[in-house]
Amino acid sequence: MKVSTILDHIDSGHIALPEFQRGYVWNREQVRGLFDSLYRRYPVGSLLVWATESKSAKHRGEGHLAAGIIKLLLDGQQRITSLYGVIRGKAPKFFDGDARAFTGLYFHLEDELFQFYQPIKMKDDPLWVSVTELMKQGFGAIGNLSAKFKDYPEFTERYETYASRVAQIIGIQDIDFHIAEVTGEDKTIDVVVDIFNKVNSGGTTLSKGDLALAKISAEWPDARDLMDEKLTQWEQANFTFTRDWFLRSVNTLVTGEAKFSYLHDVSAEDIYGGFKKAFAHIDTCLNIISGRLGLDHDRVFFGRYAIPVLVRFLEEQKGNLDVAQRDKMLFWYAQAGMWGRFSSSTESKIDEDLEVLKGSNYDIDALIKALLLSRGNLSVRAEHFDSWSRRARFYPVLYMLTRMGEARDWGNGLPLKANLLGKMSSLELHHIFPRSVLYKAGYGKAEVNSLANFCFLTKDTNLRISNRLPEDYFPEIEKNHPGALESQWIPLDSELWSIDRYPEFLKARRELLAKETNQLFESLLHDSRHLLGQEKEQPTDTQAEPSQTETEVEDSELRKINAWVVEQGLSAGELNYDFVAPHNNEQTTVFDLAWPDGLQVGLTTPVAIVSDPNGLVSASKAGYRSFTSLQDFRDYVEREILFDEA
């Protein structure tokens, strides 16, 4: 079927998108690549459609369906949407995505390049022509170009070549797509969804949650929108979750199992009830974790895959917890996050914990005992704070200590609770011994960014302390706010405040942090402190700490390149980005600086600056454009995003 006919059928309602399809996810580079391939008449694949009765077809969008047999796109949505968007100059009625991905595509008549509109690059070069305008004008565009360039002798000399290239572009509408059809009365919605899953698993990667959602949406079309609305609400509260993560909680609540396959036999009515209950229980978890533990934003919200287990627990408790149950639940959640319980084999670990709950008649003590059995000991030792950087698993623990205890700000002496107001009162990471001074003294990155050299202060205080050494500003703090240093677990031996005693300072503070952490956890257990177990040698932990390979570039340089990107009108990246593998939603590595939604959100491919070799592999598999050199990254931005060829 010709491209033009396919687009006409979309307009008439003879071709539509099934409700279980995911939204439009292509970016500008993919659209540009499609048109380049079609222009050169390269093969771009066939289409797969489901031929079914329109009266029973559940489709996406507000567009009407034609009477009789219609065709629902199972494979080819991204290509057909891109073609429709560029050729028609607008999105189809079933569209769900960012239309900027196909808006403003231009073609250079001499160089035969497709690029999206860049005013600086294109304004003084008349050979850039709008592909959409060419498509709308049809072959009349050739005559229009002739009139437009009558004062350009070089155009007249190349007229036949340019006219041929314009005709080649317009002729894209006459390209035939082979269309395979799924037909027959035996093709139920379940069968078609299974076909859709198998076909699409070879194209744009679909997670297990996407596949489960496809099944759910087939029977309950509003499921995706309802879920996305709630995910947006959580994001506005500084918690970013994925559809897969939420569906995992629905799964454990409705089926008592972690694997999404168990959702396939659940009715739409039960799924709807599961959504509502999961929303409520997750809200409860977030409220008590942020309110009691102080873990109030995404960066410090570790152990997120403990939440599906807690959702099941709360459902069995009917949402009613006494203070002791609540605190024990928080104890288990924080311990699971601290020891990386769900950092690998996520589904298996969730299933193990669900089985423990079920076998104990949903006693939270049983979960704690099981975690103790797997660990051998749940006590924290000073060496656990020996790790470094915000990538370390104990970084959220330090934040939790600050929020839960009576840690006080060094500028105003007030407790650093989660409800501080004012733009200068948000907590910032502070290096107790300034980095620049430590580097100058010969210390390495791991020592400079040791967790024991971190504390949290208000923005205003952080700015005022600036680059001063503790031996200079600690006496002022102690004089103005007695006890404020001790509240942040600072060794009070003033001899340790000098830079030549820095290693000893770190050792002493680690011991204070470990002692405070154990006391905090014991307080959460109330009268059940025996659950902590006896002190004994820790078993070898097979779940290694996140990579702490020294990066090739310092944080200051990363911040500079990030600021430069923003100056170019592009999106800011995220430092120390926790990468979650899309195929299983497991946290696998940390990128030094990343743009998971692209430098132009939704329009360009994900980009990352990565120093860890394992991170490079993960980035490549996930479709990231990755760089180990800041200069290479900058060259890429200038050449392929800003189109600066100077």
pLDDT at 514: 94
Q: Strands 454-458 and 427-431: what pairing?
A: antiparallel
**At a CB cut-off of 8 Å and minimum separation 6, what does 81 contact?**
24, 26, 91, 92, 95, 97, 102
Helix residue spans in 466-612 (DSSP H): 470-480, 484-487, 502-525, 555-567
The answer to whether the CB of 604 falls within 8 A of the CB of 27 is: yes
CA distance 327 to 336: 14
pLDDT at 112: 94
Determine the number of helices (DSSP H) and then strands (DSSP E) in the chain.
27, 13
- Positions of E strands within 308-412: none
Sign of torsion, CA 178 183 189 190? Answer: negative
pLDDT at 446: 81
Q: pLDDT for 120-178, tens place per residue?
A: 888 888 889 999 999 999 888 887 877 777 767 777 778 888 889 999 999 999 999 98
DSSP 8-state class, residue 491: -
**At a CB cut-off of 8 Å and minimum separation 6, what does 577 contact?**
590, 591, 592, 593, 594, 596, 608
pLDDT at 41: 92
Residue 433 Rama label (left phi>0; alpha psi -120 to 50; beta): beta
pLDDT at 613: 60
The answer to whether the CB of 458 falls within 8 A of the CB of 428 is: yes
The packing angle between helices 268-288 and 323-338, to 10°, is 90
Q: pLDDT for 573-596, tens place per residue?
A: 887 676 766 554 454 567 778 888
Low-confidence residues of the chain: pLDDT under 70: 20, 56, 151, 184-208, 210-211, 218, 344, 389-391, 418-426, 529-555, 576, 578, 580-589, 601-603, 612-615, 643-646
Backbone angles phi, psi at 217, to 5 degrees: -65, -25
β-bridge partners, 457: 428
Strands lying side by side in the sheet with 105-108:
114-116, 105-108, 128-130
**At a CB cut-off of 8 Å and minimum separation 6, what does 332 contact?**
306, 364, 367, 368, 371
Backbone angles phi, psi at 608, to 5 degrees: -145, 145
The answer to whether the CB of 417 falls within 8 A of the CB of 351 is: no
pLDDT at 562: 86
The answer to whether the CB of 416 falls within 8 A of the CB of 481 is: no
The answer to whether the CB of 168 falls within 8 A of the CB of 39 is: yes
Which residue, among 88, 100, 92, has the nearest Cα to 31 in the 3D structure?
100
Please report where in the chains the tokens 């008349």 appear, as a residue: 126
pLDDT at 196: 65
| 539 CB neighbour count, 10 Å cutoff | 10
Judged by DSSP in three states, 530 sits in helix
Please report where in the chains the tokens 């093709």 appear, as a residue: 187
pLDDT at 207: 58
**At a CB cut-off of 8 Å and minimum separation 6, what does 238 contact?**
296, 297, 298
DSSP string, 436-478: HHHHHTT--HHHHTBGGGEEEEEHHHHHHHTT--HHHHHHHHH
pLDDT at 485: 96
The answer to whether the CB of 275 falls within 8 A of the CB of 229 is: no
pLDDT at 327: 95
pLDDT at 420: 47
Model pTM score: 0.64
pLDDT at 193: 63
CA distance 265 to 438: 60
